[in-house]
Amino acid sequence: MNITEKILAKASNRSRVEPGDVVFAKVDKVMVHDVSGPGVITVLKELEKRGKRVEKIWDADRVWITEDHFVPAVDKIAAQNLVMLDKFSKEFGIEKHFRYGMGQYGICHTLSHEEAMVLPGEVYVGGDSHTNTTGALGCFATGMGHTDVAYVLLHGKIWFRVPETILFKMNGEIPPYIMAKDMILKIIGDHGTEFGNYKAIQFTGEAITNMPMEERFTLTNMTTECGAKNGIIDPDQKTIEYIRERRPDAKFDLIKSDSDAQYHAIYEYYVDELEPIVAKPHSPANISTAREVSNIEIDKAYIGSCTGAKYTDLLAAAKILKGRKSKVRLEVLPATQSIYHKAMKNGLLDIFMDAGAVIGPPTCGACCGAHMGVLAKDEVCVSTTNRNFPGRMGHVESKTYLASPQVVAASALKGKITDPRDI
C-alpha cells in the first residue's frame, strides 16, 4: 500500500484498503477558521432546533481554531463571527484557539505545520480546501465543508472513499531561481485543474528529499488546484527534525509507502529543465514561462498567503529585493505572527520597507479578495497566492498572475512580469 492507503487502513481499523473502498475513518485532528467555524456552529445550532442538544464535542484537545480570513475584523459581521468563535471555544473547552492580537496567530495551513498542530501518520480534516497543505508532513490531510466538520466534531470519524494515488517523481537538482511554486504550476499547467479530482497526489524523488520542508508545503498546498483530495509526501529525516524542533515531546507513527505500493499513474519530472513559471489569468493551469510574458505591466506585487508567505518565501523574495526599489505597489503579509517576528529579527522587513513595501499583519485578506488590498477593475497583480479565478483577488475584471516569491519580487523591481534571472 502507499502512504495514503496505509493511513486510511489504520484509521479505519482494517489491515488493507483499496482505492474505491468507502470507509469510516477515525480522525486525529480537526481545524476550523473564522469562516468555516461560524458555518459549523450554525449546523450545530440547526441540530439543536431539531431537538438534539449538543452538550459536548468528541474531543476538545483534538480541535483547533484560527482567525485568518477576515482579521483584523473587517466589519461588524466579521467581528461578530469572532465573538461567536470565542464563545464556542470557551463553551466546549477548546484551548488551541489562535486569537489575533494575542501572540501567535495566522493563516491556518501555515500554523498547522509551524506549530506542529498535526503530526505524521494522522488523519486531519480542516474546514478549508487548502488543508491538503499539511500532507507534506506525511499525514492524510483533506478539506471539508461545514456539515462534514460538524459530524467529525460530534463523532470523531467521517466517511472517505479511498482515493487512487498519482505519483510525481521529481528528479534532478533544483536550479537557482527555481522554487517549488514553479514545479507545481508546471504540473498543473501540464495536467489541468481537474486531473486530481477525488485522487491523492504524492510527491517523491531527489528534488523533494533536497528541498526544505517549507518548500514541500507549497507543493501539497496547490494539489488543491489539481482538484486532489489530498497531497502527501512520505516523511523523512527532515520531517522528523521539523516536528522535533517544534514539539520535542511529540509522539507519532512514521507511516511510509511500501516499496511495492501501487499507483494509479506515475509521472516523472526533471527539475533541472524547469524555468520560472507564471499562471496567467484566469486559471492556475494557464501557464507560460515568466520570460514569455515579460511585456505584461503590473500594478501590484503581492507576497502573502499560505502558499507564498512562509519564512523561506520571504527570504527568497528579500534576496532579490535587497538594496533595490519596487516600481509598483508591493504588499508583504507574513503568513503567521512567528514568521513576521523572525523576518523582523533577521532584517527582512527592513529590506522590504527599503524597497517601498507596505507590510501587513498575517491575514488571508487579499488572497481571497476580501479586504486588505483588493484589486480594482483592470488592475494587474502578480501574486504568490494559489488561485486566479475571475474576481478571486478583487474586481471580476482584475487580473492575477500566480508566481513564485522570486518572480513576484523581480517583477516588482521592473514593474513588469520578470524572470528573476534577468535582474
Which residues lie near ligand SF4 (CB under 6 A)? 68, 107-109, 128, 130, 305-306, 364, 367-368, 385-386
Binding flag, residue 250, other proteins (CB under 8 A):
no
Q: How far is the CB of 234 from ligand SF4 (least distance, A)?
A: 24
228 or 343: CB nearest other proteins: 228
Binding flag, residue 74, other proteins (CB under 8 A):
yes
Binding flag, residue 396, other proteins (CB under 8 A):
yes
| Residue among 6, 10, 62, 69 that touches other proteins (CB under 8 A) | 69
322 within 8 A of 410, measured Cβ to Cβ: no
Binding flag, residue 156, other proteins (CB under 8 A):
no
What is the CA 273 to chain-centroid distance, rounded?
26
CA dist 256 and 239 (Å) reads 12
Binding flag, residue 77, other proteins (CB under 8 A):
yes
Which residue, chain included where needed, has cell 490531510? 141
101 or 390: CB nearest other proteins: 390
Binding flag, residue 98, other proteins (CB under 8 A):
no
63 or 162: CB nearest ligand SF4: 63
What is the CA 35 to chain-centroid distance, rounded?
16
Angle, alpha carbons 34-135-185 (nearest 5°):
90
| Residue among 59, 86, 91, 148 that touches other proteins (CB under 8 A) | 148
330-349 positions binding other proteins, by CB under 8 A:
none
* 318 to 267, 343, 380, 404: CA distances (angstroms): 33, 10, 22, 13
HSE-up of residue 282 (Cα within 13 Å, Cβ side): 11
418 within 8 A of 333, measured Cβ to Cβ: no
Identify what 306 binds: other proteins, ligand SF4, none; CB under 5 to 8 Å per kind.
Answer: ligand SF4
Identify what 107 binds: ligand SF4, other proteins, none; CB under 5 to 8 Å per kind.
Answer: ligand SF4
What residue ranges in 194-339 does DSSP mark as E strands? 200-204, 230-233, 265-270, 277-279, 287-289, 300-303, 329-332
Binding flag, residue 13, other proteins (CB under 8 A):
no
Q: How far is the CB of 294 from ligand SF4 (least distance, A)?
A: 26
Binding flag, residue 38, other proteins (CB under 8 A):
yes
266-295 positions binding other proteins, by CB under 8 A:
283
Strands 29-32 and 123-126: parallel
Helical residues (DSSP H) of 257-359, grouped into ranges: 305-308, 311-321, 337-345, 348-354
Binding flag, residue 32, other proteins (CB under 8 A):
no
Q: Residue 380: phi, psi to the nearest 5?
A: -120, 130
The dihedral sign for the CA sequence 277, 129, 361, 120: negative
CA dist 133 and 222 (Å) reads 7
Residue 376, all three cell numbers: 480594482
Identify what 47 binds: ligand SF4, other proteins, none; CB under 5 to 8 Å per kind.
Answer: other proteins
Binding flag, residue 401, other proteins (CB under 8 A):
no
Buried/exposed code over 360-393 (b: 16+ C-beta within 10 A; e: otherwise):
bbbbbbbbbbbbbbbbeeebbbbbbbbbbeeebb
CA dist 112 and 31 (Å) reads 9
| Residue among 36, 110, 338, 418 that touches other proteins (CB under 8 A) | 36
Identify what 229 binds: ligand SF4, other proteins, none; CB under 5 to 8 Å per kind.
Answer: other proteins
| Residue among 18, 147, 241, 266 that touches other proteins (CB under 8 A) | 147
| Residue among 78, 108, 279, 317 that touches other proteins (CB under 8 A) | 78
Sheet with strand 300-303: strands edge to edge? 287-289, 277-279, 399-402, 380-383, 300-303, 329-332, 358-359
Q: How far is the CB of 311 from ligand SF4 (least distance, A)?
A: 16
Q: How far is the CB of 355 from other proteins (least distance, A)?
A: 28
230 or 406: CB nearest other proteins: 230
Chain residues in the site for other proteins (CB under 8 A): 22, 24, 34-36, 38-39, 42-43, 47, 69-70, 74-75, 77-78, 81, 127-129, 131, 143-148, 150-151, 154, 159, 161, 193-194, 197-198, 227, 229, 283, 368-371, 387, 389-392, 396
